[in-house]
Amino acid sequence: MVELVQDGKIVAFEQVPAIQWLRCGTSTRRCTFSSANRAENVAEFAQLLRLNPTAMVFSHQIHSDTIEVIDEKYPLQHVIALDGVDAMLTTLRDVMLTVFTADCVPVFFADTTRPIIGIAHCGWRGTLLRLTQKVIGQFLSMGSSPEHLIVWTGPAICGACYEISTELVEKFRAEFGDILFQQGIIRKRHLDLKKLIRLQAVELGVLPANIFITELCTRCRQDLFYSYRGEGKLCGRLLSSIMIEL
């Protein structure tokens, strides 16, 4: 899988050829979204991705491990704004799942054998809560096999740029053990969230060959992306979306 910046506005991902029904991408800071209306932002991003979704789903994220499955109980002719949800899955076609990030990791999930997709917003809190593993667990509970899953990340802060406190280093050590240091996921006080997300996926049986980690860093490339660490809390947000289009 290769990431391609298209017209400076979208990061698109070349998909595994067998998944013809999968559509996804991440916006760049060159998209002229307004932070005042997230529903309109998602609608504009759908146009940039050349998608025509039946429903558009996003959440007011809180760095939790809460996962929502979007199914027929929702009004699928509308924008669906959730509260307190940081990951979503669906088996429904033309339902666009979206998360917002600015250094945190947008994580995409898909089953290569049947139309089921997911997306998660993983900052340090979600990663410490093993949100990636919990999303994979939800796939398994819905009948997927780990060897059939693919997992990939969108642009996010890299390990060289992401320095955390000594107290937080110890929290990660307590949760995951010394493997974080052995594999270079933590180097002194620098944490590589994308590598840790990869480790979590492998631990649940996702094949290493089916995990794709983008090298694009939001702080290194502030010409392309918003960065909370680089710009502060008033910076804009990137949109990452995924949809089944049959």
Name the CATH code of domain 3-157+208-244 (choices 3.30.1490.20, 3.60.140.10, 3.30.1360.30, 2.40.30.170): 3.60.140.10
Catalogue the E-assigned strands of the chain.
Answer: 3-6, 10-13, 22-27, 55-60, 67-70, 79-83, 87-90, 95-101, 105-111, 117-122, 149-153, 186-187, 190-191, 211-212, 238-244
Q: Which two tokens stand for residue 192?
A: 């590589």
Nearest Cα neighbor of 99 from 127, 71, 63, 128 is 63
Average pLDDT over residues 162-189: 98
Kindly report each contact of residues 71-79 with a partner whose C-beta sits within 8 Å and lies 24 or more positions away, as own/partner.
79/39, 79/42, 79/43, 79/55
For residues 55 and 186, give the distance between their C-alpha atoms in angstroms, rounded to a whole number: 39
Q: How far is CA 167 from CA 148, 164, 174, in A?
A: 37, 8, 11
Parse the chain into domains and list their residue ranges: 3-157+208-244
| CB atoms inside a 10 Å sphere around CB 175 | 12
Look at residue 166 and tell me whether its pLDDT is greater than 80.
Answer: yes
User: For residue 223, what pLDDT is reported?
Assistant: 94
- Label residue 7 by pLDDT band (50, 70, 90): confident
Nearest Cα neighbor of 193 from 123, 120, 106 is 123
More confident residue, 20 or 64: 64
DSSP reduced 3-state for 42: helix
Computed over every residue of the chain, the mean pLDDT equals 94
- Where do we find the tokens 């007011």? 60
- Model pTM score: 0.96
